[in-house]
Chain A
Amino acid sequence: MNFSLIGALQILFKILIFPGLLFVVVIGLFLAGIDRKLVARMQKRVGPPLRQPWFDFLKLLGKETIVPHAANKAVYLAAPVIGFTGLVVMALFIPVFGYSTFSGNGDLIVLLYLLTIPAVALIIGGSASGSPYAGIGISREMVTMMSYELPLIIILLSVARKVGGSALCFSLGQIVNWQASNGCLAFHPALIPAMLAMLLVIPAEVGTQPFDVAEAETEICEGPLIEYSGAPLAVFKLNTAMKMFIMTALFTNLFFGGVSTASLIGAGIPAIALDAVIMVLICIVVTFLSMSLIHAITARFKIEHLFKFYWTVVAGLAALSLVLVWFGL
């Protein structure tokens, strides 16, 4: 890495603005707004304005932050920020089709583990708040995590096998490039079950409606978030929105990667911008299919049913895909 001024500025730009912080935050909150709007429309409601997540975020910034008596102050306040940081850094690993911060080489396993950081931050923060409701909430969050991790890893392995063949390939950049030349993975029949499984994994990862057992506000008073108020809560809400974007972007890269306009209009900033727009459009569709639609038509799972669902139906779909890919389909 060349630490000249221009280079440093470029890196700073990448971290803070384009694939990094600002882009993720803006698109994440945008997707969250779209999700709420779509759910409302599907329930025959008008729904909040698209800016609503922004209002929520800003409002929470303006509220008091109360650190409860039983809480461990340092951990309690640091936890949301750790999750936020993890997400921002993770965003740098996800390429916007061709364009990414770290030379297009996001590693799938690294991503898988970075994805756990926000969840762990939520868990540790909830645990540090000292509330018994949070205790139940973190238990559920953890079980949810155990549930979706199994299908997720099988999906990633199927994709890796499809792209890498008989070589080890965990690089997201490589997966995108492969799709650029061989067509989107979504159109390979062997990976369709995996794609469906991934659509079901996203809502659990983000924690939206039928899979939000951890934050069930009607049962366990928002679970881990119970004692949070003010800015830390705002950051947690922001984390959820960012996760929404990151998961859908990951989906896009895994199954619809390589849709680059650079070949049509020539490489350069317009092509990157156009790519970003296309990516956001795909993200909206994925948000609709995986989060809004499921949210609108289902009621919350019980935790044991959630676990069973993921380890049988979703993992079964993913494993089917893995087996199909393995034997050369």
Chain B
Amino acid sequence: MATITLKPFKTPELIIECNNITPDAFAGKTPAEIAELEIFEGKVREKLGDFFSVTGSSGNTAAETDILIDGDCSRVKYLGSKMTVGTITVNGNADMYVGGWMKGGKIHVKGNVDSFCGIAMEGGEIEVDGNAGNYVGCAYRGDWRGMRGGTIHIHGSAGNDIGTFMLGGTIIIDKNAFIHVSTHAEGGTVVIKGDVEGRVGGQMVKGDIYVFGNVQYMLPGFKEIDRVQKEIAGESATFRHYIGDLGERHPKSKGKEIYANLYVKASA
């Protein structure tokens, strides 16, 4: 394995779009070549090297390439988007689209991420030590094919629209979430360890949601059917088991309708 280290030394006037910060784009390139990679600040084409110092070495293949960004990327979009393999570690915050359309590999952001983290993700792993903005693991606007695979783990809280149109994969939020969890989902698993304000599982066809804290406003389309013991995200607990969204269409399997499941941890 080889590590390329990027150190931000200049804050952009606007926000820079760096589709090229991926092991796929860096593999087999020298630091000097990497510094030449194109980025955008608005309509202005600039180079990665205009904002980051590039040191270390990349692997021959993306799988052998680790990227360390040693500093703040609050004004850097598209970190690790579309990456297929390798790793990216950010010692700081990152802006929008972290791991968007990601197919494999691992991204670890030690600060916070802004919205659209893991949008339309297909595989791989995203770990965020801080908080996430809105639309974690969502679909692109209009697409009915949202997150299909992989894992997103947010150690802090997240905003609204978690797992919208989700089809597969897992999203874990260690703290709280705001509104709209797994809206329109047809698969996948979302785990909220803290509280959610409401709109959990609206228009949901299939898939699973676990809430360890409180759901302040339950949707009328979810009905409690039983209590179950489940182990999820490393914790075992008794959950109140709801099915829904009863207002939404549901596919049938062997003559029986399949519903989405919402598990809310039963208070002791």
Q: Do A and B come from one complex?
A: no
State the A residues within 8 Å of B (CB).
none
State the B residues within 8 Å of A (CB).
none
